Chains A and B, each alone.
Chain A
Amino acid sequence: MDLFYLAISATFVNNILLAQYLGNCPFLGVSKRIETAAGMAAAIIFVTILSAVFTWAVLVYMLRPYGLEFLQTLTFILIIASLVQFVEIILKKKSKVLYDALGVYLALITTNCAVLGVVLLVARKELAFIEMLVFSSTSAVGYALALLLFAGHRERLQISAIPRSMQGTAIALVTAGIMSLAFIGFRGMAN
C-alpha cells in the first residue's frame, strides 16, 4: 500500500513539474504539439528510470559508505550526462529511427533538471531499491502526463481567440500556472 501511495504522490500530489516546478524549460519548449511532447515524454521516462537506478547504486554503494553524500549533486550530473551520451551512442547505432525521432530532445534531457530533481529526491528520501523504482518511474510518468496535458491545451490555445498581447509564451505561462493550481488540489491525498 505504501508503494501505491508513493506512486500517487509522485504522479499527482507532488508532480515533479506542476507541484515542484522542475523541468520547466522543456515543459514550455516542446509542448507546442502533442507529437513532440510525446517524444520528449518517452525520452524522459526512459532516462529518468535509468538514471535513478545508476545514481541509487552509486549513492548506496559508494557515496554513503565513505560519507561523501555532499558530492551527490556533482556525481549525479556526471552520471546523467554520461548516461544520456551512452544512450545516444547506442541508439544512433542500433535504432536510427528512434534516434532520428528523438532528435534534439535526447540532448535536451541532459539539461533537464526534472531528471536531476528525481534522483536527488530519491537520495533525500533514502528510498530502498523497489521504492526508488516506483518513485522514479511514477515521477517521470507524472512529468509526461503534465507535459502531454499542457501540449493538448496549447494546441487548443492556438485556435482560440486570444488578445495579441497574451499570445504565445504569455498565455502558455498563465495556463501552466492554472494547471499547477489544479494539481495543488491533490494536496493532502498522500505525502
Chain B
Amino acid sequence: MITPIVLLTSIGFVAAVILGIAGRLFYVDEDPRIEAVANLLPGANCGGCGQAGCNATAEAIVQRRLEVNVCVVGGTETAEAIGTLLGYDVTGSEPKLACSTCEGGYRAARKYHYSGLQDCRAALQLYHGFIRCENGCLGLGSCFKACKFSAIRMDNVSGLPVFDPDRCVGCGSCIEACPKGIISLVGEKTKILHWNQYTQCLSPCRQRCPAQINIPKYLAHARRGEYGAALMTIKDNNPLPVATGRVCPELCATECRRTINDDPLAINPVKRFVSDWERSSGKRIPVSVAADTGYKIAVVGGGPSGLSAAYYLRRLGHQVEIFEKMPKLGGMPRYGIPDYRLSDEQLDWDIEGILELGITAHTNVTLGKDFTIQFLRNNGFDAVYLAIGAWFGRMIPLEGKELTGIYSGIDYLRRFHTDEEIIQGKRFVVIGAGNVAMDCARSALRAGASSVLLIFRFSRDLMEANAHEITDAENEGVIMRCLVSPVRFIGENGRLTGIEVQEVTLRHSPTGGLPEVIPVEGSNEIVDCDVVIQAVGQAADLNDIIAADGLAKTRYSTIDADEDTLQTSLPGVFAGGDCYSGPRLMVEAIAAGRYAARSIHYYVTTGAIPPIEYRQREMMAPAMIDSLVNVIPTPTSAIKPVIPVEDRMGTFREVEGTITEQQCQQEANRCLNCGIYCYDQDDLPRDQTRIARSCPNEPHIVEKEEMALPN
C-alpha cells in the first residue's frame, strides 16, 4: 500500500519540481492586466475575433493590437468593462460592421444563374464564378446562410445581401463565406488605413479623386437626404470638406460617365452643400476616436496635409501635437487663398473640428530655428510628420530683379492675412497662369488696382488654373495675354516702372512635355506698371532643417522620402504634401496626410509599414466605357449662385454661393452609381433591353431579357 502512494507522490512531486523549475527558468513576465481582461471575456474560445482563444485575445487587447470591443460574444457590456479596466474611453469606438462594397445598381440584375448547389463557393469552384462582372456579387446567398445572427437578408429586387447594423456583431462569418471577397469588416481604422486597389470595383470618379473619397456613396446618402451620413463618408477621407468644397478643382468630375453624353456631375457643390449643412446647423457630428495607444506624434506644419495627418492619427488613437510657424493654422489655404474664395471663418470651422478631437497646436514656432527634429525626439515623440509646405516663392532672375515693386505670388497673397503691409499699386502685371496667378490678379483688382495684365508664355490651353477661375478673372477685368514672355524689368531710382515683354511662338518638343518657346524677333514692347507679381512656382525652404537635422533633399529642393512609405532619410520621420511633392492641389495634400498617417500608424505600432498590394495609381482601363445606353441626358441644375461682378470690386466678399437643398438632391440623383464596368440604369422601363457597349468583359451587359416580360 505504501509503495503505490510513495510512487505516485514521487511522480507528482518530480513533475511539480520539474514544472516549478521550468516555470522559473522559462518565466514570462506577463502583464497582470492580461489575466484581468481574460477574466472579463466570456471564455467561449469561439474564435470569432480571429484569435486562438480568449487568452490570446486578452493579450492582444492589452497590447492594443485589438479593440476592446473585439469580442463578438461579450458585446457592449464586456467592451465597456474592459475599457474601464484599461482606462480607455470606449464610448466613441465604433464596432466593425460587415458591408459589401458592391452597391448594386446595374449590377443588381446580374444575379448568378446557376443550377447546381445554391452556394457562391460551389459556383466559384466549378465555374470560377465568372459571370458578367468580375467583382460583382454572385447573389447565391452564402453570406446570408453563414450569418448566425440573422444580420443579412438577400434583397428580393437586387439579389444582393443587405446588412443590418443592429444585428451585425462583426464576427466575420460572412467574409469567410464570400468567395469573391466583396464583403469586408469595416471599422473606422479600416477606413482610415485603406487605400484604393486595382482589385476593387471603383467608379471612375472615385479612382480619380486624389483623396479617394467614396463619391457614389456620399451622393447616394445626399439624394436620400442623409446629409450627416454623406458628410461622414466625405470625412472618412477628407477632414476639410468646407474648404475643399470651395476650392477643389473637381478632378473627379472630369471622369464622370455623365460626360459621355451629358454634363458632368457637380460633385463638389454637393460636397459643399453637405459640409455647409453641418456648419450652418452649428452642431458638429461626433467623430469616433480609437482608444489611446500611448504613442506621441509630432506634426510639423498646420496646413492641409499636416491637419489631415493629425486628424487621422488622432482618430487612430495617437496623441498628436501640431507645430506651425505661422500665427494661425491652415497653411496655404489660409495665407494663399483670398477670402472671396475661402474665408478664415469657413476654414476655421474645419480646423476647429480637427482640434476638438484632442489635438494640441503650437503656433509661431519654426522648425530649424525654434526647434529641431532631434528636440522632438528627445521630448518623447515616437514619430514626426513634416508637412511644412512650399512657402518660398520662386522668382525669375531677369535683369532688374532687384527693383522695388517685384514680388512673388505667395508674398503678395500672404499679406492679406497677416499684419504685414498690403502691397499697393495701380498697374499690375502678373506673370503665370496657375491658380495662384489668378488669385493675385483678382485680389489686386479688389485691392484697388486700376489695371491688371496677366502674361503667360504658353498658349491658353496650357494654363494651369481652373477653367472657371480664368473665366471669372476675365469677367472681373483681368486682361490676359498668352504667348508673351517677360524679358527684363525697367525702373527708375530703384523703383519698378515697367516690364519689357516679347511675343513668342511654340514648337512641338520632340522629347515630349511642354513645347519649346521661340521668341518672335522685333516683337519686344515695354508695358508700364508699378507692381509685378511672379506666380511662377513655389519651393520648400529646407536649409535650416538640413543644417539642424541633416535631412536629405532632392534636386528639386523637396524633402527626399520613400514613395511607398513617405519615410525620409531619418528613421521615424515622414514627409508629405507640398514639401515632398512640390506645389500641388489642396486635396492632394489632404490625401498625403492620410497616407502619412497610415505609414506612421504602422511604424509606431508594428515597426514595419506593409506595402499596399495592387495600389491603384492610374485610372483602370476597364473604366473607359465610351457610350451610355438608355441614360436620358439631364443637364445639371447645380449651378452655384454668384454675386454680380460690380459687387465684387473693393470687397473680398465670397463670389460663389452654395447650391440649394433641392439642387443638391437633383444633382445627386443624376449619379449613375458607377462601378468599373457598369452603371446604374435602374430607372429604365422594364420593356427595354439594356446594353452597354465597349465593355471589356463582353458579353456582359445584356440584362432584363425581354423574354422575361409578359406580352
Query: Could you list which residues of chain A lie within 8 angstroms of chain B, going by C-beta atoms?
Result: 36, 58, 62-63, 66, 68, 70-71, 74-75, 78-79, 82, 85-86, 89-90, 92-94, 100-105, 158-161
Known: A103-B56, A104-B45, A104-B53. A89 touches B23 (CB 8 A): yes
- The residue from B8, B15, B26, B52 contacting A71, defined by CB atoms under 8 A apart: B8
Assess the B15–A160 pair: CB atoms within 8 A: no
Assess the A82–B18 pair: CB atoms within 8 A: yes
CB distance from A36 to the nearest CB of B (A): 8
A139–B22 alpha-carbon span in the complex (Å): 29
Q: Is B11 an interface residue (CB 8 A)?
A: yes
Assess the A58–B11 pair: CB atoms within 8 A: yes
Assess the B18–A160 pair: CB atoms within 8 A: no
- The residue from A68, A78, A101 contacting B12, defined by CB atoms under 8 A apart: A78
Assess the A66–B7 pair: CB atoms within 8 A: yes
Known: A89-B19, A90-B22. A159 touches B121 (CB 8 A): yes
Assess the A100–B8 pair: CB atoms within 8 A: no
B598-615 CB contacts (< 8 Å) to partner A: none
Question: Closest chain B residue to A105 by CB distance?
Answer: B52
CB distance from B37 to the nearest CB of A (A): 16
Known: A82-B19, A86-B22, A104-B52. A93 touches B28 (CB 8 A): yes
CB distance from B12 to the nearest CB of A (A): 6
In the assembled complex, which residues on chain B have CB atoms less than 8 Å from the CB atom of A90?
22, 26
In the assembled complex, which residues on chain B have CB atoms less than 8 Å from the CB atom of A158?
121, 177
- The residue from B4, B15, B26 contacting A79, defined by CB atoms under 8 A apart: B15
Q: A62-B7, A86-B18, A104-B45 are in contact. List 13 more A-B contacts (CB 8 A).
A: A58-B11, A63-B7, A71-B8, A78-B12, A78-B15, A79-B11, A86-B19, A89-B19, A89-B22, A102-B52, A103-B52, A105-B52, A160-B122
**What are 13 residue pairs bridging A and B, where the CB atoms are less than 8 Å apart in the complex?**
A62-B7, A63-B7, A68-B4, A71-B8, A82-B15, A82-B19, A86-B18, A86-B22, A92-B26, A94-B26, A102-B52, A159-B117, A160-B122
A160–B22 alpha-carbon span in the complex (Å): 48
Known: A68-B3, A92-B26, A103-B52. A78 touches B122 (CB 8 A): no
Assess the B11–A78 pair: CB atoms within 8 A: yes
A17–B102 alpha-carbon span in the complex (Å): 45
CB distance from A160 to the nearest CB of B (A): 6
Assess the B53–A71 pair: CB atoms within 8 A: no
Q: By CB atoms of chain B within 10 A, which of A79, A85, A89, A102 has the most?
A: A89
Proximity bits, B650-679, A CB within 8 Å = 1, else 0: 000000000000000000000000000000
B35-92 CB contacts (< 8 Å) to partner A: 45, 47, 51-53, 55-56
In the assembled complex, which residues on chain A have CB atoms less than 8 Å from the CB atom of B11?
58, 75, 78-79
CB distance from A178 to the nearest CB of B (A): 20
A66–B51 alpha-carbon span in the complex (Å): 47
A66–B7 alpha-carbon span in the complex (Å): 10
Assess the A93–B15 pair: CB atoms within 8 A: no
Number of A-B contacts (CB under 8 A): 70
Q: By CB atoms of chain A within 10 A, which of B12, B22, B119 has the most?
A: B22
Known: A66-B7, A82-B15, A92-B28. A159 touches B142 (CB 8 A): yes
Question: Closest chain B residue to A83 by CB distance?
Answer: B15
In the assembled complex, which residues on chain A have CB atoms less than 8 Å from the CB atom of B26?
89-90, 92-94
Question: Closest chain A residue to B45 by CB distance?
Answer: A104
In the assembled complex, which residues on chain B have CB atoms less than 8 Å from the CB atom of A105?
52
Q: Is B637 an interface residue (CB 8 A)?
A: no
CB distance from A76 to the nearest CB of B (A): 10
- The residue from B27, B55, B142 contacting A93, defined by CB atoms under 8 A apart: B27
CB distance from A67 to the nearest CB of B (A): 8
CB distance from B694 to the nearest CB of A (A): 36
In the assembled complex, which residues on chain B have CB atoms less than 8 Å from the CB atom of A86?
18-19, 22
Assess the B18–A71 pair: CB atoms within 8 A: no
In the assembled complex, which residues on chain B have CB atoms less than 8 Å from the CB atom of A82?
15, 18-19
A107–B3 alpha-carbon span in the complex (Å): 31
Question: Closest chain A residue to B121 by CB distance?
Answer: A159
In the assembled complex, which residues on chain B have CB atoms less than 8 Å from the CB atom of A66?
3, 7
Q: Is B118 an interface residue (CB 8 A)?
A: yes
In the assembled complex, which residues on chain B have CB atoms less than 8 Å from the CB atom of A93?
26-28
- The residue from B8, B28, B55 contacting A75, defined by CB atoms under 8 A apart: B8
CB distance from A37 to the nearest CB of B (A): 13
In the assembled complex, which residues on chain B have CB atoms less than 8 Å from the CB atom of A36?
47
Assess the A159–B119 pair: CB atoms within 8 A: yes
CB distance from A69 to the nearest CB of B (A): 11
In the assembled complex, which residues on chain A have CB atoms less than 8 Å from the CB atom of B55?
103-104
Give 4 closest A-B pairs by Cβ, nearest first.
A103-B52, A104-B53, A93-B26, A82-B15
In the assembled complex, which residues on chain A have CB atoms less than 8 Å from the CB atom of B52?
100-105
In the assembled complex, which residues on chain A have CB atoms less than 8 Å from the CB atom of B121?
158-159
B2-17 CB contacts (< 8 Å) to partner A: 3-4, 7-8, 11-12, 15
Proximity bits, B109-123, A CB within 8 Å = 1, else 0: 000000001110110
CB distance from B307 to the nearest CB of A (A): 39
CB distance from B686 to the nearest CB of A (A): 32
CB distance from A154 to the nearest CB of B (A): 13
Known: A159-B119, A161-B118. A103 touches B22 (CB 8 A): no
In the assembled complex, which residues on chain B have CB atoms less than 8 Å from the CB atom of A78?
8, 11-12, 15
A160–B4 alpha-carbon span in the complex (Å): 55
Assess the B19–A71 pair: CB atoms within 8 A: no
CB distance from B609 to the nearest CB of A (A): 21
A161–B47 alpha-carbon span in the complex (Å): 25
Known: A85-B19, A90-B26, A161-B118. A103 touches B51 (CB 8 A): yes
Question: Closest chain A residue to B15 by CB distance?
Answer: A82
In the assembled complex, which residues on chain B have CB atoms less than 8 Å from the CB atom of A101?
52
Question: Closest chain A residue to B25 by CB distance?
Answer: A93
CB distance from A95 to the nearest CB of B (A): 11
B134-168 CB contacts (< 8 Å) to partner A: 142
CB distance from B45 to the nearest CB of A (A): 5
A82–B20 alpha-carbon span in the complex (Å): 11
A161–B7 alpha-carbon span in the complex (Å): 57
A161–B11 alpha-carbon span in the complex (Å): 53
In the assembled complex, which residues on chain B have CB atoms less than 8 Å from the CB atom of A94?
26
A8–B142 alpha-carbon span in the complex (Å): 41
Assess the B7–A68 pair: CB atoms within 8 A: yes
A74–B5 alpha-carbon span in the complex (Å): 12
B460-497 CB contacts (< 8 Å) to partner A: none
Question: Closest chain B residue to A155 by CB distance?
Answer: B121
In the assembled complex, which residues on chain A have CB atoms less than 8 Å from the CB atom of B45?
104
Proximity bits, B160-180, A CB within 8 Å = 1, else 0: 000000000000000001000
Question: Closest chain A residue to B27 by CB distance?
Answer: A93
In the assembled complex, which residues on chain A have CB atoms less than 8 Å from the CB atom of B19?
82, 85-86, 89
A100–B27 alpha-carbon span in the complex (Å): 16
A23–B53 alpha-carbon span in the complex (Å): 20
In the assembled complex, which residues on chain B have CB atoms less than 8 Å from the CB atom of A71?
4, 7-8
In the assembled complex, which residues on chain B have CB atoms less than 8 Å from the CB atom of A62?
7
CB distance from A109 to the nearest CB of B (A): 13
Q: By CB atoms of chain B within 10 A, which of A36, A82, A159 has the most?
A: A159
A105–B51 alpha-carbon span in the complex (Å): 12
Assess the B53–A103 pair: CB atoms within 8 A: yes
A17–B23 alpha-carbon span in the complex (Å): 33
A93–B22 alpha-carbon span in the complex (Å): 10
A94–B18 alpha-carbon span in the complex (Å): 17
Assess the A161–B56 pair: CB atoms within 8 A: no
Question: Closest chain A residue to B30 by CB distance?
Answer: A92
A39–B117 alpha-carbon span in the complex (Å): 30
A147–B4 alpha-carbon span in the complex (Å): 37
